[in-house]
Amino acid sequence: MSNDIQKLDLEYSAAGATCKSYLALPADTTAPVPGIIVLHEWWGCDDYVRGRADQLAGLGYAALAADMYGEGQQADDPEAAGALMTGLMGDPAQLSARFEAARSALASRAEVDGSRIAAAGYCMGGGIALEMARAGAELAAVASFHGALETQTPATEGAIQAKLLVCTGAADPFVPTEHVDSLRSEMAAAGASCEIVAYPDVIHAFTNPGATARGERFGLPLRYDEGADQDSWTRMAALLKDVF
């Protein structure tokens, strides 16, 4: 990754809150570049997801780490994170409004080609990215990493515009095999382009280097896996290169 990236705080209003997001841009934005909406884990828009935005900027994209909770809210423990996540995911209208506001804030930037937008999400964010794709959001690609795969609103035939990459841990108790199988059937019925990768012996939050310590601290099945992290990142980079 180039160290020559631009880093900006970006605030916008959505669903009654100020979203305190973070934008990472390539050093050279003389010509508009594709934009990536980066969606955070249930912990909030923290240093981890901002670091992912930096990495994407290093690949030449404008990457917005979107504050989906609003007001920059973050959680330090599972109880607080669960409460924030429940508040967001339990209100589909608010969720859609926050996502669309992030999309608009990114696409309207002079440095960004608003006709070329993708989304990448981690854990909760991966589930959100898939839900937006199911709803027919105008996205060229969606990548989900250790995200929830279940849905109350399965994709209808022809609804999904994005090319999808879904990377999950085959041993993740939060995302059992039946959820993976159900997603595969759903995507086939919807006629979607969807690559699903399940990493053997890998559990939840495998892309986050801080996951192992958090898992031990809170007694949760979280563990970083360097091989799965690197492979899934390489697959996303290839997908983005393909669609853009």
pLDDT in tens, 11-68: 999 989 999 999 999 999 999 999 999 999 999 999 999 999 999 999 999 999 999 9
Whether residue 37 lies inside any domain: the answer is: yes
CATH number of the structural domain spanning residue 82: 3.40.50.1820
Contacts of 99 (CB under 8 A, 6+ apart): 37, 39, 66, 68, 128, 132, 137
On whether residue 195 sits in a domain, the answer given is yes
Residue 116 half-sphere exposure toward CB, CA atoms < 13 A: 16
Range of 17's domain? Answer: 6-243
Tokens of 220: 């949760």
Cα 58–chain centre separation: 17
CA 74 to chain centre: 16
Spatial contact of 225 and 209, defined as CB atoms under 8 Å apart: no
Question: Would 16 be classed as within a structural domain?
Answer: yes
Structure tokens at 158: 């022809």
* Distance, CA of 218 to CA of 88 (rounded, Å): 22
Token pair of 169, please?
Answer: 């841990």
State how far the Cα of 214 lies from the Cα of 208, in Å rounded to an integer.
10
Residues 6+ apart with CB under 8 A from 236: 120, 143, 165
- Asked if the structure places residue 1 within a domain, the reply is no
Q: Read off the pLDDT band of 1 (50, 70, 90).
A: very low
108 falls within a domain: yes
Domain total of the chain: 1
The token pair that represents 162 in the structure block: 């994005």
Q: What are the tokens at 44? A: 């909030």
* pLDDT tens digits, one per residue of 127-155: 999 999 999 999 999 999 999 999 999 99
Reported as a pLDDT band with limits 50, 70 and 90, residue 4 is confident
Q: Percentage of residues in the chain with pLDDT exceeding 70?
A: 99
Q: Is position 221 within any domain?
A: yes
Q: Does the pLDDT at position 80 exceed 70?
A: yes
* Statement: the pTM of the whole predicted model exceeds 0.85: yes
Is residue 120 domain-resident? yes
2 pLDDT more than 80? no
Within a domain: 202: yes
